């Protein structure tokens, strides 16, 4: 699609408005973050352990990762629009299922079904790559995810207040209502942006090896996976640290919980402004380094005996900053390894990132206890950040060898 085409909001014959892309990206973050301050209360409601209730995070991430392997090739084959619309409808049905779940097992099942909302995160990025070149796509993804960053900044706080005032179900009713709004906007504003591949689904899936044998694709994917892995470990462990280690109430925890999103917003703003000038690799490296600094400084503060909600959640803004610099640029990079496989690459890269995050979320939740405090979570975050730095250095070395930079 031509970059110069006039954008008309709620006119699907024109390129999609950036607000639509922000809403699509945002609802994925909303579904992941909004209910997290309610986890301790939900464990009481369903009469189960926190560790069992916390599985609603990694199970959601695992199903999201698996679905992304399918979403990309399907959208390359039949188009972005239809996949997005059906995904949003299924998400809304699954959300109602969560609200009326009679027990933990049914809730977790419906929570897994909610993961279909991954279509919005995968395809909003693919839509951008359909329309723009690599560095311009990184800039546009930065603007989209900058707007999206507002969601995890405020949604945990809103979720915590809704839980405290109306009960945890109110948080899911809010998700349902927002899902309906996003569905309506997508229906009227987003036309088809991809050109049909003309290939069968079997042929689409057979193109995975073309990506999997590319060192650059793996480097970008692992940089994004490791950088975001620190954040996903935070998602799995921070509610426990806040409620059990620091003794915080849901509303207070929700307010603090959004701290990484402040840094994420700033990181995406920087990406949007300078990606076309400095290139994606430099920003990915800076993001991975910021991530590592956030985890290491927080660790040092705890070791010195000064760990508190302000220091713990405050240092997470650096983790958010790192993610805001790394993820949109690494995403633009992996989408550009094989531009004609943008949907497939977005799905596969997302699956690697989210699948790794699910594993780290489970690990963080299983290792934390009142006795260990926040240390297992901080170690996980620090080690994954270091692995992210190593991954992008591999890409930089590879591109120099190929003469691409």
pTM: 0.72
List the structure tokens of 221.
């994917």
Would residue 261 count as lying in a domain?
A: yes
For tokens 């036309």, the residue is 191
pLDDT score for 197: 59
pLDDT score for 96: 96
Would residue 173 count as lying in a domain?
A: yes
Name the domain count of the chain: 1
Would residue 2 count as lying in a domain?
A: no
Would residue 385 count as lying in a domain?
A: yes
pLDDT in tens, 68-97: 778 877 887 777 888 999 999 999 999 999
Say how far apart CA 220 and CA 354 lie, in whole Å. 14
pLDDT score for 1: 44
pLDDT score for 196: 61
CA dihedral over 153, 154, 157, 163, signed as positive or negative: negative
Would residue 157 count as lying in a domain?
A: yes
Q: 198: exposed, middle or buried (C-beta count within 10 Å: 0-12, 13-18, 19+)?
A: exposed
Would residue 169 count as lying in a domain?
A: yes
Phi, psi angle pair for 390, to nearest 5°: -60, -40
Would residue 1 count as lying in a domain?
A: no
The residue segments making up the domain with residue 304 are: 18-191+200-402
Residue ranges in the chain whose pLDDT is less than 50 = 1-4
pLDDT score for 239: 82
C-beta of residue 147 within 8 angstroms of C-beta of residue 18: yes
Say how far apart CA 351 and CA 260 lie, in whole Å. 22
List the structure tokens of 169.
């179900």
CATH number at residue 318: 1.20.1250.20
Would residue 13 count as lying in a domain?
A: no
């Amino acid at each position: 699609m031509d970059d110069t085409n006039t954008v008309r909001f709620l006119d699907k014959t024109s390129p999609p408005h950036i607000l639509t892309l922000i809403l699509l990206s945002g609802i994925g973050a909303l579904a992941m973050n909004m209910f997290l301050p309610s986890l301790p209360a939900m464990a009481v409601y369903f009469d189960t352990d926190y560790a069992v209730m916390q599985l609603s995070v990694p199970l959601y991430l695992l199903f999201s990762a698996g679905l992304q392997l399918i979403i990309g090739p399907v959208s390359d084959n039949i188009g972005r629009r239809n996949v997005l619309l059906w995904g949003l409808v299924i998400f809304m049905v699954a959300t109602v299922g969560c609200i009326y779940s009679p027990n933990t097992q049914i809730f977790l099942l419906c929570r897994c079904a909610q993961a279909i909302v991954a279509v919005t995160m995968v395809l909003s990025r693919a839509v951008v790559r359909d329309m723009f070149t690599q560095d311009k796509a990184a800039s546009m993804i930065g603007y989209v995810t900058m707007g999206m960053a507002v969601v995890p900044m405020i949604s945990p706080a809103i979720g915590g207040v809704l839980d405290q005032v109306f009960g945890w179900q109110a948080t899911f009713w809010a998700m349902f209502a927002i899902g309906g709004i996003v569905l309506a906007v997508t229906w009227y504003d987003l036309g088809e942006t991809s050109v049909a591949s003309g290939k069968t689904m079997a042929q689409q899936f057979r193109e995975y090896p073309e990506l999997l044998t590319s060192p650059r694709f793996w480097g970008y994917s692992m940089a994004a996976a490791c950088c975001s892995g620190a954040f996903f470990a935070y998602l799995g462990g921070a509610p426990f640290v806040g409620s059990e280690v620091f003794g915080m109430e849901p509303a207070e925890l929700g307010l603090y919980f959004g701290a990484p999103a402040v840094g994420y917003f700033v990181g995406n703003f920087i990406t949007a402004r300078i990606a076309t000038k400095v290139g994606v690799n430099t920003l990915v490296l800076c993001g991975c380094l910021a991530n590592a600094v956030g985890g290491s400084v927080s660790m040092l503060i705890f070791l010195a005996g000064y760990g508190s909600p302000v220091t713990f959640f405050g240092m997470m803004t650096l983790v958010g900053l790192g993610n805001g610099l790394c993820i949109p640029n690494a995403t633009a990079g992996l989408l550009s390894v094989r531009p004609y496989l943008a949907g497939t690459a977005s799905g596969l890269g997302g699956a690697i990132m989210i699948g790794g995050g699910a594993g780290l979320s489970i690990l963080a939740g299983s290792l934390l206890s009142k006795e260990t405090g926040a240390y297992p979570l901080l170690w996980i975050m620090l080690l994954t950040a270091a692995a992210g730095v190593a991954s992008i250095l591999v890409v930089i070395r590879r591109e120099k060898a190929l003469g691409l930079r």
